[in-house]
């Protein structure tokens, strides 16, 4: 091991510089800052779509801080939980503000993350060499869903109680292990004090630890391969005399100011919601949740919070009649795969055998629609993880793709929002049919992407990034 070497500073150096030098000799503080932000060179043509990554980090910190203050007064007990939330709202100084910041922050987190994922879709940020960044991001999304689900029960309101009851019961549809799995998740035969305690432990300790680890991995992977940009050009392939990409700039101070502006706009909107519309018409805080959970009184309409409802709509769309449509869709897709795919013959044969088993399993005499609803509910989330391998487009960015590709992306966004809205509404025949059409398009968009993403006339990608100074 080498001898310890202390940095020599002038005797008249400022005290702060001396203190920093003392720390740097013992811990790479300045090096970490420079590597991760200060001298991290990012493409100079970032637009405002690139704000949402740092915004997500900001909201994560906001949720952790407000969550810590809430746990100081919250009681994870079925008999005390609801009243402890009321105590926070009415008696704790500024408790109402902390609670509303946390509840609004949960919805804000998903809005920011959905917009962050939209940017990745538009500019191909999941494409090579950033597949691992995308997978870490997808794992973060799964953790967020788990964190939101576990936290949703904690107020012990009517919708919290019955929402948890319905969602946990869905696992019971899984053959063989379903009933035992539901029992294990609840810790009891019904949602009870045992359920509340374990959900509290997961929400406050387990999931946040995993989430922080995944965020660190996401950022490390990002800074290893470099950021994408709206043109989909790899700026590292064109280096200047200083060894840095000629089309990049240091993140600090340029993107520090850029992101601070984004945070300022976010805080303006966030504050307006917190102070003037924290319930957001019942979407952020359901009115039924202002009533204590009652195992003997079922709400007329049970639905999860809005950020789960696009996937919940997929679950509800899978009815016994619609199963026949899904069977035809699976058979048609496998036939198309067999004719058009360049996969090896034995791979096609395996897929064909699996599809036959799946189609047989879809028969009402074998497995019911409830089970397949859970399957497609899970598949609608998991399919996002495979995007890097589904998109075969010769260009990354939407800017250089055929115009009709943009219409497909726009229709996907409309479908996703429509499914989200329908998931918040009581079911009806018309709404179910619209949900079923949206479900078919949602899966078709991704499963047919290997073919449609290569079709059409693509524009020439420039050699260097397109940048216009403001």
Binding residues for heme b: 102, 116, 203, 218
Query: Could you tell me which of 227, 309, 263, 202 has the C-alpha nearest to residue 60?
Result: 263
87, 73 contact by CB (below 8 A) = yes
Beta strands 248-250 and 41-43: pairing type?
A: antiparallel
Alpha helices in 79-157 (DSSP H): 81-90, 95-123, 131-153
- Supply the DSSP string of 320-384, one letter for each residue: TTHHHHHHHHHHHHHHHHHHH----HHHHHHHHHHHHHHHHHTSTTTS-HHHHHHHHHHHHHHGG
CB atoms within 10 A of CB 263: 16
Q: What is the token pair recorded at 210?
A: 């995993």
3-state SS track over 13-55: CCHHHHHHHHHHCCCCHHHHHHHHHHCCEEECCCCHHHHHHHH
333 burial via Cβ count (<10 Å: 0-12, 13-18, 19+): middle
431, 425 contact by CB (below 8 A) = yes
CA atoms of 107 and 40, how far apart (whole Å): 31
CA atoms of 199 and 284, how far apart (whole Å): 20
CA atoms of 121 and 391, how far apart (whole Å): 10
**403-424 and 309-317 helices cross at what angle (nearest 10)?**
80
CA atoms of 457 and 460, how far apart (whole Å): 10
3-state DSSP assignment of residue 459: coil
CA atoms of 341 and 310, how far apart (whole Å): 30
Number of C-alpha atoms within 13 angstroms, CB side, residue 285? 18
351 burial via Cβ count (<10 Å: 0-12, 13-18, 19+): middle
Binding site per annotation, positions for a ubiquinone: 223
The torsion angles phi and psi of 249, rounded to 5 degrees, stand at -135, 155
Binding site per annotation, positions: 102, 116, 203, 218, 223
Chain mean position to CA 272: 24
């Amino acid at each position: 091991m080498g001898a310890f070497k202390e940095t020599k500073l002038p005797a008249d150096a400022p005290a702060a510089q001396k203190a920093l030098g003392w720390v740097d000799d013992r811990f790479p503080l300045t090096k970490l800052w420079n590597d991760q932000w200060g001298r991290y060179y990012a493409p100079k043509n970032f637009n405002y779509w690139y704000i949402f990554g740092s915004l997500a980090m900001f909201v994560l910190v906001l949720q952790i801080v407000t969550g810590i203050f809430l746990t100081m007064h919250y009681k994870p007990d079925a008999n005390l939980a609801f009243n402890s939330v009321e105590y926070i709202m009415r008696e704790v100084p500024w408790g109402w503000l902390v609670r509303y910041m946390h509840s609004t922050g949960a919805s804000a987190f998903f809005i920011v993350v959905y917009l962050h994922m939209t940017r990745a879709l538009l500019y191909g940020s999941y494409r090579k060499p950033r597949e691992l960044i995308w997978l870490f991001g997808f794992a973060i999304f799964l953790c967020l869903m788990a964190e939101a689900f576990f936290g949703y029960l904690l107020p012990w309101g009517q919708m919290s109680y019955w929402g948890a009851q319905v969602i946990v019961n869905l696992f019971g549809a899984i053959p063989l292990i379903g009933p035992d799995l539901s029992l294990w998740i609840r810790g009891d035969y019904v949602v009870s004090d045992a359920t509340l305690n374990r959900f509290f432990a997961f929400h406050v300790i387990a999931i946040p630890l995993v989430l922080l680890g995944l965020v660190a991995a996401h950022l490390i992977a990002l800074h290893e391969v470099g950021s994408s940009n709206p043109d989909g050009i790899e700026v590292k392939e064109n280096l200047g005399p200083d060894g840095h990409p000629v089309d990049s700039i240091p993140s600090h101070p340029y993107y520090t100011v850029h992101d601070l502006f984004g945070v300022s706009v976010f805080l303006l909107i966030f504050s307006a919601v917190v102070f003037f519309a924290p319930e957001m018409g019942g979407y952020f805080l359901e009115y039924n949740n202002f009533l204590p959970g009652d195992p003997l009184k079922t709400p007329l309409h049970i639905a999860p919070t809005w950020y789960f409802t696009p996937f919940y709509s997929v679950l509800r769309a899978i009815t016994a009649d619609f199963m026949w449509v899904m069977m035809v869709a699976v058979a048609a897709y496998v036939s198309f795969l067999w004719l058009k795919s360049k996969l090896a013959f034995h791979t096609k044969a395996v897929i064909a055998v699996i599809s036959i088993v799946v189609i047989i399993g879809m028969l009402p005499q074998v497995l019911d629609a409830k089970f397949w609803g859970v399957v497609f509910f899970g598949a609608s989330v998991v399919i996002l993880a495979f995007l890097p391998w589904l998109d075969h487009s010769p260009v990354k960015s939407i800017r250089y793709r055929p115009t009709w590709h943009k219409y497909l992306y726009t229709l996907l966004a409309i479908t996703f929002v429509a499914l989200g809205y329908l998931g918040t509404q009581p079911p009806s025949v018309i709404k179910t049919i619209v949900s079923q059409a949206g479900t078919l398009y949602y899966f078709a968009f991704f499963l047919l992407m290997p073919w449609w993403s290569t079709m059409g006339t693509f524009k020439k990608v420039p050699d260097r990034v397109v940048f216009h100074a403001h």
